[in-house]
């Protein structure tokens, strides 16, 4: 006689809470977060910090969410689901930074991946210097991994004379690991440097042609998903970079501007791929 499965029979699925803004183009922001998190075999839950007006060319404006709404969204998820990691993206105002910090203070044991978003891929501003200072003060000390690009690292560590000093100064703000991304730096190769290990670890990739919309969101969310799966942060950074590079290799020119990473490339049926294949991170537990 067959029995009906109950909720207690269902396997526990890891969860990442992504706290970030909405991009109507689907290239960056919460849309990118959701796809990258799913690709690690993890359930994405979200709290929306802003509604932006942007396309693949640039950002044209945004309206920040009410801080209380972001707190309430976050707590609704955190009090209901087994959140294994929190990813933080665009915040946009000092009040939102402080609101998110107040949420993190209630859940001190959940790993945090912080993408300190200050500008969009096309160069438009998504935060001012006051927001950058608030991120450094309130969120860096709580972060497991921080993933600034070259511009953000220079804004957050303005007195640093070189890459090593930037990594050291940002680490001194309290984050466990700082990943300095090299996609916006000159050179034939893309060099990403992870601080928090001795010596700092370098991850080198071939520079791909074109500019990409949402690569930073993709990477930080992939890292968060891998941590939620049980990976240690250093391995999560490595595997997150590998996954992100694959999404860029499969990127598509959907709009008039930057290419959009194909975060669900693994689900493509081209070339005889088995549609029963698991997503890249679904069985990775380290």
Nearest to 251 by CA among 243, 261, 241: 261
Q: Which domain holds residue 145?
A: 13-264
Q: Would you state the pLDDT for residue 6?
A: 61
Question: In this structure, is residue 123 part of a structural domain?
Answer: yes
Based on the structure, what is the number of domains in the chain? 1
Question: In this structure, is residue 276 part of a structural domain?
Answer: no
For 105-119, write each residue's pLDDT tens digit. Answer: 999 999 999 999 987
Nearest to 244 by CA among 178, 190, 171, 163: 190
Per the prediction, the chain carries an average pLDDT of 91
Name the residue with higher pLDDT: 100 or 120: 100
Question: In this structure, is residue 2 part of a structural domain?
Answer: no
What does the pLDDT average to over 201-214?
95
Greatest mean pLDDT among 9-13, 116-120, 182-186, 230-234 lies in 230-234
Whether residue 7 has pLDDT greater than 50: yes
Nearest to 266 by CA among 285, 286, 282, 284: 282
> Side by side, which strands form the sheet with 177-180?
59-64, 43-54, 15-22, 83-88, 112-114, 145-146, 177-180, 189-195, 201-206
Question: In this structure, is residue 158 part of a structural domain?
Answer: yes
The CA R_g of the chain, rounded to the nearest whole Å, is: 18
Spatial contact of 119 and 148, defined as CB atoms under 8 Å apart: no
Q: pLDDT above 70 covers what percent of the chain? A: 88
Question: In this structure, is residue 44 part of a structural domain?
Answer: yes
Sign (positive or negative) of CA dihedral 24, 29, 31, 32: positive
pLDDT-derived band at 272, boundaries 50, 70, 90? very low
What does the pLDDT average to over 14-23?
98
Question: In this structure, is residue 153 part of a structural domain?
Answer: yes
Question: In this structure, is residue 3 part of a structural domain?
Answer: no
Question: In this structure, is residue 5 part of a structural domain?
Answer: no
For position 178, which CATH number holds?
3.40.1190.20
Q: Would you state the pLDDT for residue 283?
A: 41
Whether residue 10 has pLDDT greater than 90: no
Q: Are strands 112-114 and 59-64 parallel, antiparallel or unpaired?
A: unpaired
End-to-end CA distance of the chain: 39
pLDDT-derived band at 187, boundaries 50, 70, 90? confident
- The residues, ordered by sequence, that sit 6+ positions from 5 with a Cβ below 8 Å of its Cβ are none
Whether residue 85 has pLDDT greater than 50: yes
For 123-150, write each residue's pLDDT tens digit. Answer: 666 778 899 999 999 999 999 999 999 9
């Amino acid at each position: 006689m067959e029995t009906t499965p109950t909720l207690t029979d269902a396997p526990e699925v890891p969860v990442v809470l992504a706290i970030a803004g909405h991009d109507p183009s689907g290239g960056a922001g919460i849309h990118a977060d959701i796809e990258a998190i799913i690709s690690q075999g993890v359930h994405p839950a979200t709290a929306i910090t802003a509604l932006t007006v942007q396309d693949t060319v640039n950002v044209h404006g945004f309206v920040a969410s009410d801080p209380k709404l972001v707190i309430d969204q976050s707590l609704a998820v955190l009090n209901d689901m087994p959140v294994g990691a929190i990813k933080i993206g665009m915040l946009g105002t000092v009040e939102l930074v402080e609101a998110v910090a107040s949420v993190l203070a209630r859940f001190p044991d959940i790993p945090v991946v912080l993408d300190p978003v200050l500008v969009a891929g096309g160069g438009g501003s998504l935060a001012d210097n006051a927001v950058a200072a608030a991120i450094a003060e309130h969120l860096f000390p709580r972060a497991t991994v921080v993933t600034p690009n070259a511009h953000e690292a220079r804004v957050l560590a303005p007195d640093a004379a070189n890459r090593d000093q930037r990594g050291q100064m940002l680490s001194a703000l309290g984050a466990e690991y700082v990943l300095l991304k090299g996609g916006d730096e000159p050179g034939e190769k893309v060099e990403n440097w992870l601080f928090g290990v001795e010596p700092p670890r370098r991850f080198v990739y071939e520079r791909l042609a074109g500019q990409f919309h949402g690569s930073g969101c993709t990477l930080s969310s992939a890292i968060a998903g891998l941590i939620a799966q049980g990976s240690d942060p250093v391995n999560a950074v490595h595997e997150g970079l590998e996954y992100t590079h694959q999404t860029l290799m499969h990127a598509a020119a959907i709009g008039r501007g930057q290419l959009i990473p194909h975060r669900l490339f693994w689900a493509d049926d081209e070339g005889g791929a088995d549609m029963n294949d698991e997503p890249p991170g679904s069985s990775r537990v380290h």
